[in-house]
Amino acid sequence: MSKKYVPNGSCLMCDKGSSPCTLKVTNHNNTKIYGEFLASEADAKPNINIMPFGMCSVTKKACVPVPMYWDKCNKDVKVNGFKLVFEDAFLLCSQGGKVKVDMNASDGSAAFQFGLTGIGLGGMPWTNYHNAIDLTQRGIIFDVENGRLQLNPANPPLNQQGLPNRNTPNIRGGNYGEMKDNVFHRSNGWRDVRTEHPVLDIDKPTAAGIDGVYNRGGTSGDYRITDSKYNTAQLQNTNTGRELSSRWTENHLDNDAVSNNADANEMRRRNQANTLDRSVTRTQTDGSMRNEPVNNNGFRQRGQSTGMDFPQSRTQQFMTSVRSSVSNTAPMQSLANSNFSRGIQSSDAAINANQFLWRNADEIARVGKVVGRGTIVIGIAIDAVSIGSAYAEEGEFGEKTQAAVGSAAGGVAGGLAGAQLGALIGTAICPGVGTVIGGIAGGIIGGIAGSSLGSAIAGWF
């Protein structure tokens, strides 16, 4: 069978590039063979005949093609004095790439199906474990304060013996107050330095411990320990002293209540010098909060109670409301209450994974930020190359350019939306590690799907 020649608009693929491009034949002298402008050995100029191929795996940067020559041409058939290129020819690049012709993908549309910008934008926030905790806690708080979750339910959850837990109101009230304490301090620039993982389950049995240990401004800044109380609950006397007292605090510090040695040592020094900030965070039945300072003996300092709040912008309120509506749909509630999800949440693997993420949250977030930003930069570069290549080929804002723009926009929208939905699904399965995995996976799936959909529907507008 005789070899075919390469027509204008053929899809080119480089083995070192991340995306294909479309060949533009310019050295034809208006001569058509079989009704087509056919590529010749002269059609090898960068950014004229050959557009960039996304990111180059050799240079690790955006592709800057440096074509040398087509290796298989017909010496007997020429156009404008140049030999025609055979379909099985390779265009060699001095960067080390080898470009081949794909005769079955001439429209170049595959170049737009990546969505890396959206993947980076959507997935990157979920590499910060604090975001996963914040989403979960704010969602539970919103549901309690909007009547979607009852602190005193008519049908309380079962205890380990399979009987209704009569202590549910106390448990839920305490955990609700502790979550509000966490969110308040987090939103006001405090970092939680406890070893113990924050509460993500409103039905988690309460245990002895420091409800909140916070730092703001490093070891030379502020330290605060808190005990969360709901409604009229009061500080109690324990075997190690009254809650929040110096003796009680020292005992918890000695038992590794604080994850970082530098924080623990500074808190111990301040506790012994009676300069450590101690307070009860009291949550009332209407959801309002008050800060009640406590002295080193664990007794409230009269007359110094102050209000606490963590206001949200309208956008934040809207997003929290939307997340709550999605989370409370029948399918999501069915998933959250399924034996599958409960089995995962109670497994040692999930508990250990959450604890690992909590203890290494800052380091993971730093790595995730670097990877996420890199993905965004690469995605923007690919989107820019795709749009520029399409516009250069068409010479106007035509169908291919519209598809490239639609792909870029769709990838961003899909990545952001997919990450949010994925995080909610992951939270239903296993709050914490599930939230992180769901957010990242949702960003990837949403970015790719959004890019494809955006490219497809761009021409409708």
- Helix, strand and coil in the chain, % to nearest 5: 45, 20, 35
For 130-171, how does the pLDDT look when each residue is reduced to its tens digit (9 = 90+)?
Answer: 999 999 999 999 999 999 999 888 777 766 666 666 777 788
- pLDDT score of 74 more than 70: yes
For 388-429, how does the pLDDT look when each residue is reduced to its tens digit (9 = 90+)?
Answer: 777 776 677 777 778 778 888 888 888 899 999 999 999 999
Task: State the pTM of this model.
Answer: 0.71
Nearest to 176 by CA among 192, 195, 200: 200
Region 27-56 average pLDDT: 84
For 279-301, how does the pLDDT look when each residue is reduced to its tens digit (9 = 90+)?
Answer: 999 999 888 999 999 999 999 88
Lowest mean pLDDT among 28-37, 122-131, 444-453: 28-37
What does the alpha-carbon distance between residue 335 and residue 333 come to, in Å, rounded to a whole number?
5
Q: Which residue has the higher pLDDT, 276 or 163?
A: 276
- pLDDT value of residue 111: 40
What does the alpha-carbon distance between residue 103 and residue 5 come to, in Å, rounded to a whole number?
10
Nearest to 379 by CA among 346, 404, 354: 404
- pLDDT score of 324 more than 90: yes
Nearest to 331 by CA among 343, 341, 345, 320: 341
Region 321-345 average pLDDT: 92
What does the alpha-carbon distance between residue 25 and residue 40 come to, in Å, rounded to a whole number?
8
User: Tokens representing 85?
Assistant: 């290129």
Residue matched to tokens 């959004």: 450
Lowest mean pLDDT among 25-29, 245-249, 268-272: 25-29
For 9-26, how does the pLDDT look when each residue is reduced to its tens digit (9 = 90+)?
Answer: 888 889 888 888 888 888
Confidence of residue 120 (pLDDT cuts 50, 70, 90): confident
- pLDDT value of residue 301: 85
Region 375-382 average pLDDT: 79
Confidence of residue 458 (pLDDT cuts 50, 70, 90): low
